[in-house]
Structure 1
Amino acid sequence: MNPWSDVPYADYERHMSHETVGQLALLNEITGEKVAQRYPQTVAVYGACTGNGFAHFVDAQTVYAVDLNPTYLAICHDRYDPILNKLVLVQADINHENIPIPPGSVDLLICHLFLEYVDLDRAFASFRQVLRPGGLLNVVLQRSNDTGWVSNTGVTTLRPVAAIAKEVPDETLRQHASPDLRFDGLQTYRMPNGKSLISYDFIKAANAPQVDEDENGTDDWLTWDR
């Protein structure tokens, strides 16, 4: 079982919002910036967890929250379904399952601290499948800078997650995006604990071929539309 299935949502939020980590607030801010740049009608968030940043999507027509942990999705629904036009919950593990979002439908795809835990080939196949031509993919990656992957905040339930994490080098990221997800800039943020977060933007090329995600895995998935 994926260790993310066993991390209580309160522990995750407590760790991410700890004063020595500060990642929850920054990721929220980055999401807001991307919404302000694109005014998207359809948004997908891979690794949605409990919905950090979803308050910025109030003007979107459809928001897809993708996560493997059903408790995280239930919390996300309770918090944000009342304020969003349409929130679609997608419970799936991208390492083993396809993501059932209509092809070419997504204007903005948010992927924050997600690629470090998943198969990159499967993830980018899904990105290409769901993004519309001209759509924006925003990826945020962590750089530990020799400080250890998970900071010591007193939250011990994240230790199994750290065991499966892997840093994604800049070159590896760009190789997986090339050629049809065009690099469109990055920004680096230095965090209180010595780590860095790097926010990358990629634009799906107008002439990019459509990817058939069924070629990359099974279609055993569960979608909640509540």
Structure 2
Amino acid sequence: MRSPWLDIPLGDYEGHMLLPSVGQAEMLSDQLGRIVIELDPDSVAVLGCAGGNGFHRIPPDRRIVGVDINPHYIAAAAERYAAICPRLELHTADIGSEAPSIEPVSLVFAGLLFEYVPSQSALRFVKSICRDGGTLAAVLQLPLEGAGVVSRSPFKSLESLESVIHLVSPEELEAAAARAGFQLRSRDQVCLPSGKSFAIRTFRST
């Protein structure tokens, strides 16, 4: 089945995520920046990188790997960051069904990825690109009673995601990560003004 992500213009996605009523672009960027400051990795992979949200929070001398299913998103990320980040690597791939060859990194950031890629497939890919002793950081959307899983906005193209999004509980991810060879490092949670909450989990690759 064709992924709806292939038909959502980057402007729609970024516009939606930047809406004050959504606020998820800043949240994801902040979480990536916080974890980069905490761990000081020499290399970072951002899965579902879109147009490079959060890349500016990574020191430009580090190796930065971006992966996304939409080639137009990857092209935009290249246009925005290739001249700034000399060690930037970008890959167009559906990690649910294919695994591009990527030299392992110290930190893998998966912000709102597991909602769209089955955990087993995603974790298999993460394991292949995360160094032993490296870190997986995941951001998961938590359910909110009375609110749609996909926030309402003027950007109607995002409504197509309602047919494929699947919320994964932190407990589900922790169990799947343990089976895939990841040890839980930390638990955190952030709540946005919209009322939506997100769980942040970090894991060590063993």
| Secondary structure class of the residue paired with 1:158 | helix
Aligned pair 1:108/2:107, yes or no? Answer: yes
Structure 2: how far apart are the matches of 1:191 and 1:125? 30
Aligned pair 1:164/2:164, yes or no? Answer: yes
Structure 2: how far apart are the matches of 1:197 and 1:149? 12
Equivalent residue for 2:132? 133
Mapped contact 1:151–1:193 kept (Cα < 8 A): no
| Secondary structure class of the residue paired with 1:175 | helix
Equivalent residue for 1:173? 173
User: Which amino acid letter does the alignment assign opposite residue 106 of structure 1?
Assistant: V
Structure 1: how far apart are the matches of 2:60 and 2:48? 21
Structure 1: how far apart are the matches of 2:54 and 2:74? 14
Mapped contact 2:44–2:63 kept (Cα < 8 A): yes
Query: What fraction of aligned residue pairs are identical, expressed as a percent?
Result: 33
| Secondary structure class of the residue paired with 1:137 | strand
Aligned-residue offset at 1:139: 0.1
Equivalent residue for 1:81? 82
Structure 2: how far apart are the matches of 1:162 and 1:17? 19
| Secondary structure class of the residue paired with 2:115 | helix
* CA RMSD in angstroms, aligned pairs only: 1.2
Aligned-residue offset at 1:60: 4.3
Structure 2: how far apart are the matches of 1:51 and 1:162? 23
User: Which amino acid letter does the alignment assign opposite residue 126 of structure 1?
Assistant: F
| Secondary structure class of the residue paired with 2:107 | strand
User: Which amino acid letter does the alignment assign opposite residue 170 of structure 2?
Assistant: D
Equivalent residue for 1:219? none
Question: TM-score, normalised on structure 2?
Answer: 0.94
Aligned-residue offset at 1:71: 0.5
Aligned-residue offset at 1:57: 2.1
Q: How many pairs align?
A: 203
CA deviation vs aligned residue, 1:152-204 (integer Å, no higher than 9, x gap):
12111001112100010122101111053111112111122221111111111
Equivalent residue for 2:148? 148
Aligned-residue offset at 1:59: 4.2
Aligned-residue offset at 1:82: 1.4
| Secondary structure class of the residue paired with 2:46 | strand
| Secondary structure class of the residue paired with 1:115 | coil
1:5-16 superposed matches below 5 A: 5-16=6-17
